[in-house]
Amino acid sequence: MQICDCLVFIGGDIGNSVEKQGVTAAEIAVLRAVHGNDSVREIKVQDNAKTNHEEERERLMLLYSSDFIASLFGKFGDLPETLEAARVEVDMIVQAEPKKLNRLRKHETAQEPNEQEQNVVITE
């Protein structure tokens, strides 16, 4: 599961914000549901971690209420593991895994590369 740092505008108010660290992709979905889709910004992917979905669901239920988490994700099953699965828009991400961010951008733009882009060589 992607682990991120982010800035949360409480209730969508840009004058009232909190920096959160170590937030899972699933928790970002929760924060967006609580504060509004545009309220979670400057998302930086810091790590990918093996996360047990049941344990993460229990942690979220303790933080945000069992009924709310069940209404958002259902009582059972997998949680979103990536920002893409949590349906986070690319413009909310300021740092991400390069391949993932490029893939997200390709889906949004769906444009043919120009001649200059076709000649770019990427090495890893």
pLDDT tens-digit series, residues 85-97: 999 999 899 965 5
Cα dihedral sign, 73-79-81-84: negative
pTM: 0.74
Q: Is the pLDDT of residue 121 over 70?
A: no
- Listed in order, strand segments (DSSP E) in 10-118 are 17-24, 40-48, 93-95
